[in-house]
Structure 1
Amino acid sequence: MSQRRIETIVASDRVIDDGDMRLFRALPMDGQESLGPFVFLDHYRHHSRRGIGDKPHPHAGIEVISYLLDGSVEHRDSVGFRDRLGPGDAQWIRAGRGMLHAEQPDGGRHGLQLWTSLPPAMKFADPDYASFRAADIPELDLPGATVRVIAGTVNGTTGPMRNATHTVFAHVRLQPGAGIALDIDAKQLGFYVLEGEMQGPEDEALGPGTLATFGPGTGITLQAAEGQAASIALVGGDPVEGELVFAGPFVMDTPQHARQAQQDFIDGKMGRLDGVPF
């Protein structure tokens, strides 16, 4: 098992911090457009029922992955799927050629929303949906740590989420000062600090909102800072296929496909939700 080393450390953007909601955005960033198939990473915490994405809005060209650490939320979309997520639940949406959805929180909520870019051949695939309850997500109990594997394989344990391309997504919780070694097969890999502090390559403290990326290899060592517990999201997998064209909630591989997605939304081809888009 060849050991990966941390190569880059980036502080995410604080997009919202108004007393009720705090939102960090770690992807895309200047110099860090993607990590594996992931092209978007939002980490949010809010206290009221106001939420990100609570009004009907479209997506296309991506898989939308949600992971709820605390609180609950109701999901509905223009394809006809309705669901309710609670703490520890995960959600997968293949937006493909386009769909509308909305997420209404019941109250305060803490979680992640991530996007993975669909391969060029799947940009206009039919939309699909799946959710995974906390009890169905496998958890590794290691000395000083737990690892919940949502997608991909960590130490031989495979998560239930199936993505269009090889994807790794796991939630790791470390006790104060604890360190663990993990074996993960991913061409690109990194971690985002949710809470607490991790120890960096120069023994520096990596606090909430930090995105660290590893170099090549299969094995990683994760170390919580001395006297500090830590909660992190491991993200990675195969690199994005094709070009990346960001057009708001649409991520396509060519400008022509981005314009087609925008026109499909205007023409109502992504369905209706509370009268949107008309």
Structure 2
Amino acid sequence: MNTSTNTSRIISAMAVPEGAGVIVHRTIGTAALRNYDPFLLLDHIGSDHPDDYIAGFPPHPHRGFVTFTYMLDGHMQHQDSMGNTGDLGPGSAQWMKAASGVIHSEMPKQTDGLLRGFQLWINLPAANKMDHPEYQEFPATAFPVVKTEDYQLKVLIGCFGDTLAPIRDDLTQVTYLDVQLQPGRHFQHQLPAQNTNFIYVFEGNGQFNGQDVPLHSLVAAGRGDDAFDFAAGKEGARFIVVSGKPLHEPIVQHGPFVMNTREQIDQALKDFQSSQFVRDRAWVKRSQ
């Protein structure tokens, strides 16, 4: 179900160990905001301490959803059991439709002492959970940037006005924007009223429709806040703006398996334990 309410909520990120001990800052996927249809999880990786992430994310399975990884600084090296590999550098992104099953690893590396990025989990409709897996992977230069006197905006998924991203998600109609706002300036935007919408502030702070939003906080936009005004604080602000169509379907999750029934989860576990998990080789779309 869609958990939007009439009032926007501010969710502070929680530090959570993940993978082989990597520390991530999680908002969606916690007790405060779980299954924010169609979004299942939002992790923000941000550290200049290698011990926080050097162990990385060794091989692990996914079924039934999409992961979207966006790197701000540093690198994330990807490899899966089908032989696909990739190196996500600063500003690059990967849309991975795990669908029927992918077993992959993600190993982070610093660049100039920095490692920052995001991973968003997007649920798939029941009719598409067992589709063939596929990737859309692009470098920083592939993503269009809109510049004004007040802000700089990068379009990662979907569109912003007439500006189109190279990554499309037709099933849940996701849009994903990275907005860098100058100190004291405003960013005004209209989001689809029927969608689940949020922003996450990862640099600076500001106000969302007059409501204070501190650093490392997510605004779960309530109904009526689809048209919003974000005012940056004295140091400016940088935040992602994400919107997606809710599915309104049952969610049964067991770790990295997200299906609609308990029986489907049991089958995923059986497939994984019997080495029958990966059924189809993923198709990879990259820029030329």
Which TM class, normalised by the smaller chain length?
0.7 to 0.9
**Which residue matches 1:85?**
88
Residue 13 to residue 218, structure 1, CA distance change in 2 (3 Å) = closer
Does the 8 Å contact 1:144/1:174 carry over to 2?
yes
| 2:263 matched residue in structure 1 | 256
Q: Which residue of 1 aligns with 2:183?
A: 176
Return the letter of the residue paired with 1:99. Answer: V
Q: Any gaps of 5 or more consecutive residues in structure 1?
A: 273-278
Structure 2: tracts of 5 or more residues without a match: 1-5, 280-288
Instruction: Give the aligned residue type for 2:69.
Output: S
Letter in 1 for 2:185: A
Deviates further, 146-155 or 46-55 = 46-55
- CA contact under 8 A between 2:73 and 2:115: conserved in structure 1? yes
Give the partner amino acid of 2:63.
A
Query: Alpha-carbon deviations, 1:173-230, whole Å to 9, x = none?
Result: 11111102223336221101112112144453x22221112224653322112x1211
Equivalent residue, structure 2, for 1:102: 105
Residues 36, 52 of structure 1: CA spacing in aligned structure 2 closer, same or farther, 3 A cutoff?
farther
Q: Structure 1 pair 185/251, CA: closer, same or farther in 2 (3 Å)?
A: same
1:231 deviates by: 1.2
Q: Among all aligned residue pairs of Structure 1 and Structure 2, give the percentage whose two residues are the same amino acid.
A: 31
Alignment equivalent of 2:228, drawn from 211, 220, 228: 220
Aligned to 2:249: 242
Q: Is the Cα–Cα contact under 8 Å of residues 140 and 146 in structure 1 kept in the other structure?
A: yes
Count of aligned positions = 264
Aligned to 1:70: 73
Q: For 2:57, what is the secondary structure of its paired residue?
A: coil
- What amino acid maps onto 2:190 in structure 1? D
| CA apart distance, 1:16 | 4.7
Aligned to 1:38: 39
Residues 37 and 237 of structure 1 are in contact (CA less than 8 Å); yes or no, is this contact kept in structure 2?
yes
Paired residues for 1:54-203 under 5 Å:
54-107=57-110, 108-163=114-169, 164-185=171-192, 187-203=195-211
Shift in Å, 1:263: 1.3
Deviations 1:59-91 (A, max 9, x none): 111101000000012111122211111111010
The alpha carbon displacement at 1:36 in A equals: 4.7
Q: Distance in 2 between matches of 1:34 and 1:173?
A: 27
Are the structure 2 counterparts of residues 9 and 142 from structure 1 closer, same or farther at C-alpha, using a change threshold of 3 Å? same
CA distance in 1, matches of 2:29, 2:253: 10
Cα 1:213–1:203 shift into 2, 3 Å: closer
How far off its partner does 1:100 sit? 0.6
Check if 1:11 corresponds to 2:9. no
Q: 1:179 to 1:229 in 2, by over 3 A?
A: same
Q: Which amino acid aligns with 1:75?
A: H
* CA shift in 2, pair 1:82/1:103, >3 Å: same
Structure 1 residues 58 and 52, CA gap change in structure 2 (3 angstroms): farther
User: 1:229 is paired with a residue of what secondary structure?
Assistant: strand
Change (3 A) 1:51 1:26: farther
Instruction: Select between 260-269 and 50-59 the one with higher mean Cα deviation.
Output: 50-59
Q: Deviations over 1:214-266 (max 9, x none)?
A: 224653322112x1211111112101341111100111111111111111111
